[in-house]
Amino acid sequence: MQKLSLIDIKLKAPGRYIKEEIMSCYESLDAFADLISIYPNSLKKYLDSTKVGSAVFKTKLEKYLKKGYKDIVVTYEKQIEEWVANITKNIQSYKSYQDVLTLEKVKCLCARYNMPTETAKMLRNLGMYHFYNNRARLAIEFIKLSLDIIENTSATDLLFEYNSDLGLIYYYEHEYIQAKQVLEAVSYLRCNNSLDKEVLFHYLYRLGNVYTELKKYEEARNNFLLALNYHQNSYQKGSAVMNIGITHKREKALKKSLNCYLQSLECFDSDDETSIAIINNNIAELYREMGDCSRALLYCNKALEHIGTTNIQKQFIFFQTYTQIKIEQNEPMEAVERLLELMAKCKDVFTYRKHIVEAIEILIKYAINANNEAIILRLELELIQLIQSSDSAHSYVIELKSLLCDIYLYKRERR
């Protein structure tokens, strides 16, 4: 099922379905009219009407087309339901302004034909559209509107699912208390046998993440363990096990965390390079905290190897782990060289400005504390070059200049 566009949202009249069925079985409409003993013009009028003929005409259709009327004609409501199902399945692919017009049109058709459950589904879809396009506050309002409708229906499965979606949005907005309240409010519905297993997985996984951020680590682990009962693929299984490891790390139970990370590494498919890279980086950070820099570097290099050269953003994140390891190994210049190599790969430095600033800041702080003038000089020259090649009015340049000022203050104090 491909995503829909405005062109696709045209209700097909019953007569068109009947005409297509007739033409697939008979030579012409006139031939069929003769067979059922009505005038050709009368048949054409029936097919052009929004209400197709009499009960007798429908009986004849079923007899000579050898199908029930409901098998021949797709009602307006059924067409709308199919569009709603298509959109719900592919909601992450709706990204443009034209796409939101398509969603709005289907929502209006749901309301026009008095289909409250389908209207609620489309309000939820509009909410998720805005969420995936970084408009969280708007997303929350749409999800709440959908819940207002669903609460007056018997669709408890949707009540559960849409509260789970609302909790997800609050979580990404760092509103953990609200996320907890929303998710816990529908926990009683977990026993509903009609709930989809994947919906249950996402609910428990999201609640686990919320508890993690609220430092309720035991509750978080319980939910991740429950989520494992409903995982639908290796990615979901690996993610749940990894997050159990994160709770242990937060509690400084590093060996337990390491065991979980190593288990999760075995869960992911071998071609899921991104997930494998993230786990390797997590393991590297653990070994660094445990004081085993050799193993930390081994796993950090594995992370960089798995992520490849295409995901520059993840490379910068993993580079911070690499930098911390190299500093602890008293080999900071290798981190500087690797940073410059990474920056050279960036065709659009502006896109990765946040990561570049963070990476340079880590190295400057180290160099100043260690009085490493060789690194100071390399970074000073790089900052000057970055500032000269960027738009002076942008906040990114202000951050670079601030870092450069830190270097100048250090040099002045050293005189």
Q: Quick check: 50 pLDDT over 70? A: no
Structure tokens at 283: 């393991």
Q: Residue 215 in contact with residue 250, Cβ under 8 Å?
A: yes
Q: Quick check: 70 pLDDT over 90? A: no
Please report which confidence band the pLDDT of residue 74 belongs to, taking 50, 70 and 90 as the band edges: confident
Lowest mean pLDDT among 133-137, 150-154, 343-347: 343-347
Residue found by looking up tokens 């500032």 in the block: 387
Please report which confidence band the pLDDT of residue 2 belongs to, taking 50, 70 and 90 as the band edges: confident
Q: Quick check: 311 pLDDT over 80? A: yes
Domains in the chain and their CATH numbers? 6-74 (1.10.260), 244-330 (1.25.40.10), 342-415 (no CATH)
Average pLDDT over residues 16-30: 85
Tell me the C-alpha to C-alpha distance, in Å, between residue 340 and each of 22, 303, 321, 343, 403. 70, 19, 16, 5, 16
pTM: 0.85
Bigger pLDDT: 74 vs 91: 91
Q: Taking the mean position of all CA atoms in its chain, how far away is CA 57?
A: 51
> Cα–Cα distance between 8 and 6 in angstroms, integer?
5
pLDDT tens by residue, 363-412: 999 999 999 999 999 999 999 988 888 776 677 888 999 999 999 999 88
- Can you give the three-state secondary structure of the chain, one letter per residue? CCCCCHHHCCCCCHHHHHHHHHHHHCCCHHHHHHHCCCCHHHHHHHHHCCCCCCHHHHHHHHHHHCCCHHHHCCCHHHHHHHHHHHHHHCHHHCCCHHHHHHHHHHHHHHHHCCCHHHHHHHHHHHHHHHHHCCCHHHHHHHHHHHHHHHCCCCCHHHHHHHHHHHHHHHHHCCCHHHHHHHHHCCHHHHHCCCCCHHHHHHHHHHHHHHHHHCCCHHHHHHHHHHHHHHCCCHHHHHHHHHHHHHHHHHCCCHHHHHHHHHHHHHHCCCCCHHHHHHHHHHHHHHHHHCCCHHHHHHHHHHHHHHHCCCCHHHHHHHHHHHHHHHHHCCCHHHHHHHHHHHHHHCCCHHHHHHHHHHHHHHHHHHHHHHCCHHHHHHHHHHHHHHHHCCCCCCHHHHHHHHHHHHHHHHHHHHC
Calculate the average pLDDT of the chain.
91
Looking at residue 343, its pLDDT comes to: 84
Looking at residue 170, its pLDDT comes to: 98
Give percent above pLDDT 70 in the chain: 98
pLDDT tens by residue, 328-361: 999 999 999 988 888 887 766 667 788 888 889 9
